[in-house]
Amino acid sequence: MNKSSFLIVGQHAVIEALRNPKRKVLKVFLTEESKKNIHRKNPKKNVLEDVKVYFKSKKELQKHLSAFGNKKTIGFVPTMGALHQGHLHLIEQSNLKCDISICSIFVNPTQFNNPNDLANYPNTLTIDLEKLEKVKCDIVYNPPVNDLYTQGETAKSYDFGSLATAMEGEFRPGHFNGMATVIEKLLNIINPTIAFFGQKDLQQLYIVKDLVKQMQSATVIEGVQTVREESGLAKSSRNKLLSESAKKEARLIYNCLNYCQKNKEKGVDKLKFHIQQQFLKQKNFTLEYAEFVALKTMLPIKDWEEENENAVSISAYHSGVRLIDNIIL
């Protein structure tokens, strides 16, 4: 919103604003029930023609979706907010392939093994809603914790086999159980035709595909190519925590990945050594892992699998901010 605009909150206040011919309405965010009331009471119904529906309750959301039956295809993009161009690209892909696009914004407490990460996770809901409106997202689901979890409920325990043992599975114990718990809940609530996930979180993508098989769900899981900044740095909500100078230094991750792609003939051991040496030269960067894995198992490899069946994944800390990225080889 610009300096001359302001936010009006509350059903009655919004209705009066809509009735006032001197007011220029820029945006309206409302629940389905409020939308019905405003339609009923507001004579300027054309104002609401393009309003996107915002839900905080899974019951209201499911009631709304039930009206479509099997007549509409539903695309779903789960997020934790602090949206960036990578998230918006997922919505755009959903718009291209589905009749309805739904974005969830929920900071899931069960997938944080570090309480400080949860406490410091950015909350930019108002800005997020404005971004979603620009890319024509149809429905936003932004539930409180008690809409998805009962009091005292913890993450389920899953068996994803080798997919969850290396890389993030090793360095973030419990993360994938928490992530899978909330994704299973969201898929059961929304029952999307296609759910879209970014390839930046490559290990997560393959685990979600396995989760859907375990659920015996008809939802298709589609991976979408990583969106990058001009420097090559993968778009991430955590990038907001980096200074401009840190962002410039953080492009080292992509430079290493790109080097691996262009020098695959050198072999796994030499490429891994190259990455380690590059990070040792950086005083502000700490390499957590650089792992070459087979896509089908997510286990470390010594020799290449078939073309496009390998990946190199890097996790590193810069100025206390954890950054991850990967490239398929």
How many angstroms from the chain centroid is the CA of residue 30?
A: 23
pLDDT more than 90, % of the chain: 76
Of 188 and 118, the structure prediction assigns the larger pLDDT to: 188
pLDDT at 150 over 80: yes
pLDDT at 311: 98
pLDDT at 85: 97
Residue 64 a catalytic site member: no
pLDDT at 159: 98
Of 87, 89, 175, 318, the active-site residue reads 87
pLDDT at 99: 97
* pLDDT 10s digits, 20-67: 656 655 556 666 566 556 555 555 444 444 446 899 999 999 999 999
> Cα-flanking dihedrals φ and ψ of residue 162, to 5°?
-70, -20
pLDDT at 119: 85
Calculate mean pLDDT across residues 188-206.
98
pTM here is 0.85
* pLDDT 10s digits, 168-180: 999 999 999 999 9
Please work out, in degrees rounded to the nearest 5, the angle formed at the alpha carbon of residue 223 by the alpha carbons of 328 and 187: 145
* pLDDT 10s digits, 214-271: 999 999 999 999 999 999 999 999 898 899 999 999 999 999 999 999 999 999 999 9
Domains assigned to the chain: 1-50 (no CATH), 52-224 (3.40.50.620), 237-328 (3.30.1300.10)
Of the candidates 182, 328, 205, the residue with the CA atom closest to the CA atom of residue 260: 328
pLDDT at 117: 82
Helix H, strand E, coil C: the string for the chain is CCCCCCCCCCHHHHHHHHHCCCCCCCCCCECHHHHHHHHHHCCCHHHHCCCCEEECCHHHHHHHHHCCCCCCCEEEEEECCCCCHHHHHHHHHHHHHCCEEEEEECCCHHHCCCHHHHHHCCCCHHHHHHHHHHCCCCEEECCCHHHHCCCCCCCCCCCCHHHHCCCHHHHCCCHHHHHHHHHHHHHHHHCCCEEEEEHHHHHHHHHHHHHHHHHCCCCEEEEECCCECCCCCECCHHHHHCCHHHHHHHCHHHHHHHHHHHCHHHCHHHHHHHHHHHHHCCCCEEEEEEEEEECCCCCECCCCCCCCCEEEEEEEEECCEEEEEEEEC
pLDDT at 181: 98
